[in-house]
Amino acid sequence: MFAVFKREVQSYFYSPIAYVLTGLFVLVVSIFFFLSNIGSQSADFNPTLSTISFILIFIVPILTMRIIAEDRKNGTEVLLITSPSTLSGIVVGKYLAMLFVFLVMTCLTFVYPIILFIFGNPPLAPLIGSYVGLILFAAALISIGVFASSLTENQVISVFISFVIMLIIWIIEPIGNAVGGWAAVVLNWFSLSSRYNDFTTGILNVGSIIYFISFIAVFLFLTIRVIEKRRWSQG
């Protein structure tokens, strides 16, 4: 698993897309930081982080589009699944590599809270909670992206599938609120965005953490099953 993780991280940072995507991410965060904090003279960074959580719907599909699809297109998937590593180890290694890349991107945004602490007094507990929630939210989206990448060898199609699934998950909460009643309760329970909002108050909800971890495990399991089915179909 570690060998797969190392290989994917190295190959990702050897490609220009890593720096383009990271630069784009930082640029978007900088714009919203200027609008939400500098422009309005607010020390609360949570609105900016909430906006970032929505931007991830567009960023993560591009981040994960090649993680499995490229191996399948180049014919190197066969070498991976016949390697000494287990299939689950390969999938988890690839997933952790993408999560690591996102964490690197997230670390670059720490400069903005530091600026706020220098010139103001932002609430610490909600800030920490929002970052924890953002990382868990992104980790869940990355698991969707890895799953989508396993379905096709076309990276564009992978991006489209990821985006559609993530968009559906994002609009579950407003749909539930519009419908109301028991449907709202059920849909809000499944909503990732509503569970992310739980962290913005500064309270680390154990139930939400378990839900995020379970969500990730389900999509990684589905990814393993897709690759395993393809392996057996190919003999």
The pLDDT confidence band at residue 177, using thresholds 50, 70 and 90, is: confident
Enter the DSSP assignment of 54. Answer: H
pLDDT at 64 exceeding the cut of 70: yes
If one compares 182 and 163, the residue with the highest pLDDT of the two is 163
Whole-number pLDDT of residue 13 = 86
d(CA 109, CA 233): 45
Percent above pLDDT 70 for the chain: 94
d(CA 57, CA 192): 12
Whole-number pLDDT of residue 200 = 83
Q: Which amino acid is at 142?
A: I
Whole-number pLDDT of residue 80 = 66
The pLDDT confidence band at residue 39, using thresholds 50, 70 and 90, is: confident
Contacting residues for 129 by C-beta, under 8 A, at least 6 apart:
199, 200, 201, 202, 203, 204
Structure-token pair, residue 139:
């980790």
Structure-token pair, residue 230:
């393809």
pLDDT at 234 exceeding the cut of 70: no
Whole-number pLDDT of residue 201 = 81
Q: Quick one: which of 64, 87, 63, 89 has its CA closest to 77?
A: 87
Structure-token pair, residue 80:
């991976």
Report which listed range, 44-53, 73-82, 128-137, 221-230, is most confident: 128-137
The pLDDT confidence band at residue 81, using thresholds 50, 70 and 90, is: low
d(CA 232, CA 209): 35
If one compares 60 and 235, the residue with the highest pLDDT of the two is 60
d(CA 195, CA 185): 13
Residue 221 to residues 87, 114, 144, 155, Cα–Cα distance (Å): 10, 38, 11, 21
- Coil/strand/helix, residue 141: helix
pTM of the model: 0.93
- Quick check: 118 and 36 in contact, CB under 8 A? no
Percent above pLDDT 90 for the chain: 44
The pLDDT confidence band at residue 233, using thresholds 50, 70 and 90, is: low
Q: Quick one: which of 147, 169, 51, 53 has its CA closest to 98?
A: 147
The pLDDT confidence band at residue 46, using thresholds 50, 70 and 90, is: confident
Whole-number pLDDT of residue 205 = 83
What number is the average pLDDT over the span 70-91? 75
Whole-number pLDDT of residue 79 = 64
